[in-house]
Structure 1
Amino acid sequence: MPLIKIHVLKGRESNEIEKLLGAVHDAMVQAFNVPQRDLYQILTEHEPTHLRALDTGLDIPRTRGFVMVEVVTRPRSRDEKTAFYSGLCHMLADRCGIQASDVMVSMTENTDDDWSFGLGRAQFLTGELASHRPGG
């Protein structure tokens, strides 16, 4: 937890995808202070005709390197969120050559009631995760 959904255009090599996934995970671990094993990622590749992301009139140029990141998470502070946005752009630029102008992020917050990691239980509510969750 958090659950990260990543949308990219088709055409990246598998090693590029690995670097991208690693950068997103490391940015999340750093910004949200969660354990390394908090790894829940879904990467979806789209045909160019099936992924559109303009700039809401902000004059932000987009290329084929565009990456859209959806984050589903427990509530985070403004500082944590802005640290994630900037850390993510920095790591994607360093590791993948992806420009900050090609990175878009959307966060959706939910609560402990909204998570089950398996076995038909809500582990945040049962306390199974409470003892070893610094940032959760």
Structure 2
Amino acid sequence: MPLLKFHLYKGRSADEVSLLLDAAHKAMVHSFNVPKADRYQIVSEYQYPYLQALDTGLGIPRTEKFVLVEVVSRPRGRQAKVDFYHNLCVALDKTCGIQASDVMISFVENSDEDWSFGCGRAQFLTGEL
């Protein structure tokens, strides 16, 4: 945990998606200090016009490499989130050639009772995690 959901335009190869997911996982582990084996990622791909992401009037250019990342997580501190924004953009640029202007990130926070990792138990509540 956290659960990272990636919304991408169609057209990337499986290798490109794997590199993107690996880079994002490393940024998440570094920013939130979670175990390396704590990896939950979902990729959804869209053709235009089924994904549209304008710049909210900020003058941010978007390309076909655009990535929208939804982070579903327990509450994280402000600085950890800011660090993640930065670390993810650096990692995606370095690893995948995705510029920071093509990365949008949104957090959806929930609480410990909102997670079951399997076996019909709430592991955060039972103390297993």
> d(CA) in 2 for partners of 1:59 and 1:9?
20
Within a 5 Å distance, the mapping from 1:110-121 to structure 2 comes to 110-121=110-121
For the pair 1:96 / 2:96, whether they are aligned, the reply is yes
1:33 CA displacement: 0.3
Corresponding residue for residue 8 of structure 2: 8
Letter in 2 for 1:106: S
**Structure 2 residue matching 1:106: 3-state secondary structure:** strand
Gap runs ≥5 in structure 1: 130-136
Distance across 2 between alignment mates of 1:123 and 1:106: 25
Q: Aligned partners of 1:46 and 1:39: how far apart in 2?
A: 23
1:3 positional shift = 0.5
4+ residue runs over 2 A deviation = none
> 1:47: Cα distance to partner?
0.7
User: Where does the alignment leave 5 or more consecutive residues of structure 2 unmatched?
Assistant: none
Matches within 5 A, 1:1-136: 1-129=1-129
- TM-score, structure 2 length as denominator? 0.99
Give the secondary-structure state (helix, strand or coil) at the position aligned to 2:49. helix
Deviations 1:9-49 (A, max 9, x none): 00001110000000111110000000001110000111121
Residue 109 of structure 1 aligns to which amino acid in structure 2?
A: E
Residue 114 (structure 1) shift? 0.4
What one-letter code is carried by the residue in structure 2 that aligns with 1:97?
G
**What TM-score, normalized to structure 1?**
0.94
RMSD of aligned C-alpha atoms?
0.5
Structure 2 Cα separation of the partners of residues 85 and 48 of structure 1: 25
When the two structures are aligned, how many residues end up with a matched partner?
Answer: 129
| CA shift digits 1:64-113 (9 cap, x unpaired) | 00000000001100100000000000000000000000000000111100
